[in-house]
Amino acid sequence: MSALLNAPQREAIYYLDGPCLVLAGAGSGKTRVITHKIAHLINGCGISANNIGAITFTNKAAKEMQERVAHLMGGRAPGGLTVCTFHALGVRIIRQEALHCGLKKQFSILDASDTVQIVSDVASEGDKGIAKQMQWQISSWKNAMIPPEEAVKLADNELSFAAAKVFGEYERTLRAYQAVDFDDLISLPVHLFETNDEVRERWQNRLRYLLVDEYQDTNRAQYRLLRQLCGVRGAFTAVGDDDQAIYAWRGADVENLRLLQKDYPKLRVIKLEQNYRSSRRILEAANTVISHNEKLFEKTLWSEHGPGEQIAVTNCRDAEHEAEWVAMKITAHKFEARTRFKDYAILYRGNHQARIIEQQLRNQRIPYVMSGGQSFFDRAEIRDLLSYLRLLLNPDDDLAFIRSLTTPRRGIGPSTIEALGRYSASRHVGLFAAMFEEGASVHLTPKQLEGLREFGDFINRIQYRAQREPAGQVLEDLLLAIRYEAWLFEHCGTREAESKWSNVRDFVGWLTRKGEEDGKNLLELTQTIALISMLDKEDPDFDGVQLATLHASKGLEFPHVFLIGVEEGMLPHQSSIDEDKVDEERRLMYVGITRAQRSLNITYCERRKMGKESRVCEPSRFIAEMGGDIKMNDRKAAAPVTKEEGKARLANLMAMLESRDKNGAG
Ligand code: ATP
Ligand code: MG
């Protein structure tokens, strides 16, 4: 326990007399304080793991924290310890207190595309773009805990008026579906705790000590949840860094840092100043960039590490050339430095940048893992399958009902669904329940009813099995019964069908494994899927280059980092330049730079395709702001003259690498 902790870290770990805030820059060991404090609470203070809750920002971080704690405690994770995201904690609370929240235990969790669909339905808004903006507005109100009645008064432009008008109906629709959206996962527990003393006290007794990582990115609703859970005792430790606040666009509020000091006057604030992650040049560049932002809190960050390699900035012709260059550089570097692929990370501002990189890595047979990317669960084929799972879990989920009823087509047409919809609305029940009611026969022909009920019986049969049999087996049978593979090949081109089917196989394989590992049945697995925004490669031994957006890279560290697309308009993003919000982009840049331990490569493109046209780009202002100690590469020297030559060089390198690895020299 005493190993590798500095004095302020130890102070933060052993301080238990009141609330504690660790405020410090990147790589200073904040997360390390949390894991060691958990171990100390259990081993040193005899607090039961059951009574400790640690809140992380992503599922991946939660998993890593579990592992780190297990490692500290001699290899075994303490049973009963809660380590999860705010949202996952919300799910637990709602599931346990479902009745108090007006829900049944098998409620559905809807993701962004479902909620946009509902807004577009209740507002009769055909334009998905507008529906999306309205949903965004509703979500912001919910994050700020503003109810529909108040939203009406706050609305001040056309869009927010429209959103305020449908807000109430949107909420009622969710409840009718026995469904919640992401924001409800926080706001329902807050509301429950604020209105029900008995329930609140029960949870306060359950989670006696709380630890929160990445505190700077909590929003108002999350802060209120924290306050309710901690009560007046204030038994918590929060760690954060105002310079890494990058979720303002999602309602996070750095003011929460100040609020903590105001609401808990006895708050002990501890600062960490030594960075253990990065070599000195990297740290200095990060410090220099962030010094261009207005300071909120006084902090310093220094390192005992040597200067390390110079940061290199390389100009590339366009995004394709950039991808090619990065792939080649990684291959060459790996060859020379005898590293593993997983020592490299490629980080970018927007998800859309990943596609070209992925293509290039695949072409060059470089293994990779992508995290936090465009959600795997957003793909049509996965959503198809998910709609069945959601319906199994919750027959009131009308969105899932319609999608599964019609995908693959089973000869039930829109007029049947409309008639069923009218009847179900008149009876105030869900579509699934409505088709089994006697009265349905007045509105639907016997033939229509027969088709519907056949589907209903099928779902009921699978549902029965889903509660009793292993998840994998039920899934396989479900896919066979709906002839999904055959349907894909009938409706898509061969290549597309193959790729979709392979995604489905990945999904089934993953669920099967998860079911076995966690001892959960298909219904239990389904309820938490919406919370997992990525399909992590679960195998920690998998050796692949890591691809992530800057937002998703928070809290992580990699020996060698490639930060790509560092241009005006990309990073900082054009919309932030337009809205004069470059500070948040600068914090993103700071997050990106500080992920690197040993080397940092930055690239920018001289031209970039925007829609149909190709535009000339300027290097990002952040490059100039990093200070002078960087190496500017010129692509004419650094990159191949022609595409073919480049490909040939890469192929050569790969062949050399493979033969070396095969001969066991690697
Ligand atoms: P971020 O702001 O990026 O989340 P952080 O402040 O949470 O960073 P950690 O991830 O906890 O920082 O630590 C950064 C690295 O430094 C890790 O590899 C960690 O193991 C190491 N480290 C932290 N404290 C010490 C220490 N006292 N001695 C040696 N290594 C340390
Ligand atoms: Mg951290």
Measured CA to CA, the distance from residue 552 to residue 573 in angstroms comes to 17
- Best residue among 23, 28, 241, 243 to mutate for probing ligand 1, ranked by most atoms within 8 Å of CB: 28
DSSP string covering 209-225? EEEESSGGG-BHHHHHH
The domain spans of the chain are 7-93+187-272, 108-177, 303-375+543-633, 378-535
Q: Is the pLDDT at 638 greater than 60, yes or no?
A: no
Query: Which stretch of DSSP H or E encloses residue 176?
Result: helix 158-176
CA–CA–CA angle 174, 178, 182 (5° rounding): 55
Higher local confidence (pLDDT), 276 or 663: 276
Q: What are phi and psi of 15, to 5 degrees?
A: -75, 115
Helix (H, G, I), strand (E, B) or coil at 326: helix
Q: Which ligand is nearest to the CA of 35?
A: 1
Ligand 1 atom, smallest distance to 555 CA: 4
Segment of 4-8, 57-61, 110-114, 538-542 carrying the highest mean pLDDT: 4-8
Give the environment of ion ligand 2: residues with CB less than 5 A. 30-31, 555
Is residue 213 part of the annotated active site? The answer reads yes
Percentage of residues in the chain having pLDDT higher than 70: 93
Contact 620, 570 (CB under 8 A): yes
pLDDT of residue 411: 84
Q: Which ligand is nearest to the CA of 299?
A: 1
Q: Is the pLDDT at 567 greater than 80, yes or no?
A: yes
- What's the distance, CA 92 to chain centroid? 18
Helix (H, G, I), strand (E, B) or coil at 632: strand
User: Which residue has the least CA distance to atom 9 on ligand 1?
Assistant: 29
* pLDDT (average), residues 114-138: 90
Q: Residue 666: pLDDT band by 50, 70, 90 thresholds?
A: very low
pTM for this model (two decimals)? 0.84
Task: Render pLDDT for 277-305 as a digit per residue (tens, 0 to 9).
Answer: 999 999 999 999 999 998 888 888 999 99
* pLDDT (average), residues 516-523: 88
Nearest CA to 637 among 312, 281, 311, 310? 312
What single-letter amino acid sits at 299?
Answer: K
What single-letter amino acid sits at 245?
Answer: A
* pLDDT (average), residues 71-86: 87
Q: What is the mean pLDDT of the chain?
A: 89
24 marked as binding residue: yes
Which residues make Cβ contacts (< 8 Å) with residue 414, sequence separation at least 6?
none
Q: Residue 506: pLDDT band by 50, 70, 90 thresholds?
A: confident
Task: Render pLDDT for 400-455 as a digit per residue (tens, 0 to 9).
Answer: 998 899 888 888 888 888 889 888 888 888 899 999 999 888 889 999 999 999 99
Token output for 359: 């293509």
The CATH number given to 108-177 is 1.10.10.160
Q: Which ligand is nearest to the CA of 242?
A: 1
Higher local confidence (pLDDT), 565 or 105: 565
Q: Is the pLDDT at 538 greater than 70, yes or no?
A: no
Terminal-residue alpha carbon distance, the chain = 35
Contact 71, 80 (CB under 8 A): no
Token output for 6: 């500095």
Task: Render pLDDT for 215-260 as a digit per residue (tens, 0 to 9).
Answer: 999 998 999 999 999 988 889 999 999 999 888 877 777 888 888 9
Query: Which stretch of DSSP H or E encloses residue 275?
Result: strand 274-275
* pLDDT (average), residues 345-361: 91
Q: Is the pLDDT at 29 greater than 70, yes or no?
A: yes
144 marked as binding residue: no
Which residues make Cβ contacts (< 8 Å) with residue 233, sequence separation at least 6?
204
Query: Which stretch of DSSP H or E encloses residue 52?
Result: strand 52-56
Measured CA to CA, the distance from residue 570 to residue 583 in angstroms comes to 14
pLDDT of residue 42: 93
Measured CA to CA, the distance from residue 327 to residue 335 in angstroms comes to 12
Contact 270, 297 (CB under 8 A): no
pLDDT of residue 637: 47
Out of 31-40, 236-245, 536-545, pick the least confident.
Answer: 536-545
How would CATH label the architecture of 303-375+543-633?
Answer: 3-Layer(aba) Sandwich (3.40)
Which residues make Cβ contacts (< 8 Å) with residue 591, sequence separation at least 6?
26, 244, 246, 550, 553, 554
Burial of 343: CB neighbours in 10 Å, binned 0-12, 13-18, 19+: buried
Token output for 122: 């209740």
* pLDDT (average), residues 118-143: 91
DSSP string covering 353-378? GHHHHHHHHHHTT--EEEESSS-GGG
pLDDT of residue 374: 55
Q: How far is the CA of 550 from the centre of ligand 2 (A)?
A: 14
204, 244, 274, 416: which is the annotated catalytic residue? 244
Q: Is the pLDDT at 33 greater than 90, yes or no?
A: yes
Q: Which residue has the tokens 């990115």?
A: 217
Out of 35-49, 246-260, 587-601, pick the least confident.
Answer: 246-260
pLDDT of residue 660: 62
Which residues make Cβ contacts (< 8 Å) with residue 568, sequence separation at least 6?
577, 617, 618, 619, 620, 621
Q: Residue 534: pLDDT band by 50, 70, 90 thresholds?
A: very low
* pLDDT (average), residues 576-600: 95
- Which DSSP category does 50 fall into? G
Helix (H, G, I), strand (E, B) or coil at 401: helix
Which residues make Cβ contacts (< 8 Å) with residue 169, sequence separation at least 6?
122
Burial of 490: CB neighbours in 10 Å, binned 0-12, 13-18, 19+: exposed
Instruction: Show the ligand 1 pocket: residues with CB < 6 angstroms.
Output: 4-6, 9, 26-32, 241, 244, 276-277, 555, 557, 594
Query: Which stretch of DSSP H or E encloses residue 252?
Result: none
Indicate the class that CATH gives domain 378-535. mainly alpha
Token output for 549: 């957006």
* pLDDT (average), residues 64-79: 86
The reply to whether domains 7-93+187-272 and 303-375+543-633 share a CATH topology is yes
How would CATH label the architecture of 7-93+187-272?
Answer: 3-Layer(aba) Sandwich (3.40)
DSSP string covering 103-152? --TT-EE--HHHHHHHHHHHTT---HHHHHHHHHHHHHHHHTT--HHHHH
Token output for 210: 């709380």
Integer-rounded Cα radius of gyration of the chain: 26
Percent composition of the chain: helix, strand, coil (DSSP 3-state, to 5): 55, 15, 30
Helix (H, G, I), strand (E, B) or coil at 165: helix
Q: How far is the CA of 121 from the centre of ligand 2 (A)?
A: 41
CA-CA distances (angstroms) from residue 471 to 34, 238, 507?
35, 38, 12
Measured CA to CA, the distance from residue 22 to residue 28 in angstroms comes to 10
